[in-house]
Amino acid sequence: MGLGLVKKERLIFEQLLAENSVHQRAQCGDTCGPTTVKDIGAPPAAVCRVIVDACPFFRRHASTRTEVTAQALAEKLVYYVLDLVSPQFMENGDGPAPEVLVMFDTQANMPTARSMVAAKRNPLATPEELDRVRLDPKCTTVVVNGRLFSAEERPFTAKEIMALEENEHVPFWFCRAMNSRAGKEAVWALLEKTVVKVFAELGNEKRRVCVTVDGPGTGPTAVTRIERGPEGGTNGIVKVTQFARKVQWGEADLKAADASQKPIERPNAAQVIVTNDRDQICQQLILSSSRSPSCRNCFIHFLPHVMSRGPAQWMDTYGFPTCGRGSTLAFLLVFGGSDYTVSMLGVGLRPGQAVETDNGIFNLQKCFSVSEDFPRGVIHTGGVVDAICRSFTGKKTAQVFSFDEDSGQFFISKQAALASASAGKTVRKRPRTLKDLHSQLKDVIWLLQYWSLAYSNLTPAGPPPLPESVTLFELRSPLQRFLQTGKHFEPATSIPL
């Protein structure tokens, strides 16, 4: 999903950030990226490192109408990526070899928050829906583990998964593989093996490149590195090694964001992150305050959506705010929902409104920060409340579905509530409360902490849920009054995590 914010609203932020990058480059005289407004969206002048979020890449390039093979998909990735690297770095023996890093999801290391939100967004079928399918003799819908699928998109069976694992030349339906965890894990493992194989068999091409594939598995062979160069033997291979990953991130895009923090050894070249998930913008906004100057030439290469025929897009992160305000921009961008949070737009918020005034980006307060003294982050409640109130449109808040008004837990749709209801509980529609908003804000703050790479020492890496004791503001006020006047009476505090 990435970010749930509608395109029109998201583009307000992207345009402001792009203009700031152009301005910053012009001031610093850095011509690795565009320095004039008319050149916004241009690619970097030179590329020495490419980091690929493999999952959206394959989703983008796998056909939904015909079967595909792992071999064909792996070849598409390898040659697409090598075309992004500046040829002079691969052909010239001077300086460090260009890098390619291919990142896969590792399901075993995924945060539990992701599956919890996914269950709300894609709930199990209700008893009524199951009865409708069971009683209709003409219905072709398939029920698998309590979920409904069309016959064409039903998840793989265990037998089909076993057949898939055996050979990278076996055709399969990619969309069916993505409809179950077992199918995903099998396909990512097959594609990891095939990508490594294709990189190692580039014929007699002596292109100099260091390739790292961080796969879906765990343990001592989770990461494979292939070093190629003119001095190599067969197919130009100098060295192939396997080793355990140092940090146990689960998501490929977070692995990519972490890798982008490594210094770039060529001062006049850029690194490129290939993805189509817009939440990479948020991750780079969070990390911009701690990024070293040698990592500043970082571009995000957005692949077009699977249903779009448009070209890929380039986003320059050079001008992302470095004083903590990046956290607030990320905070606002998540209002429409994400893989880890439920949309807050029903509260009457429009995040673009917060930055549409003069110097909108620069008038924001920081809402979250990380430093050497506080590596796990600090919540700045003044920035949180200010961003919420700046975004409030005055519209009436939408009602929600829940079992208990005092819990702060609720569902946006009745279907999701019914699917989660346990015996004896009645789903009812009710107005939103300030406690509901507070619960959602804590989820978003947790996400900012996760994107800041906090708790990277854990397995799986990532922060635990925020403690119950963390209170961003008093909960006594009616929701509507808080949204209108909260920033005027709430005392600003800093909460170390």
- H-helix or E-strand containing 415? helix 414-420
Give the separation between CA 273 and CA 355, rounded to whole angstroms.
26
Q: What is the pLDDT of residue 421?
A: 63
Q: What is the mean pLDDT of each run of 10 residues along the chain (497 residues)?
A: 83 94 94 94 95 94 87 94 92 84 94 70 71 77 77 84 81 88 91 92 74 93 87 71 93 95 91 94 93 91 77 93 90 92 90 84 89 91 92 90 69 74 72 90 94 93 91 88 77 86
Check if the beta carbon of residue 167 is closer than 8 Å to that of residue 62. Answer: no
Q: What is the pLDDT of residue 239?
A: 84
Q: Which residues contact 408 (CB under 8 A, 6 or more apart)?
A: 433, 435, 436, 438, 439
Burial class (CB in 10 A: 0-12, 13-18, 19+), 135: exposed
User: Can the peptide bond before residue 460 be classed as cis, meaning omega within 30 degrees of 0?
Assistant: yes
Q: What is the pLDDT of residue 319?
A: 93
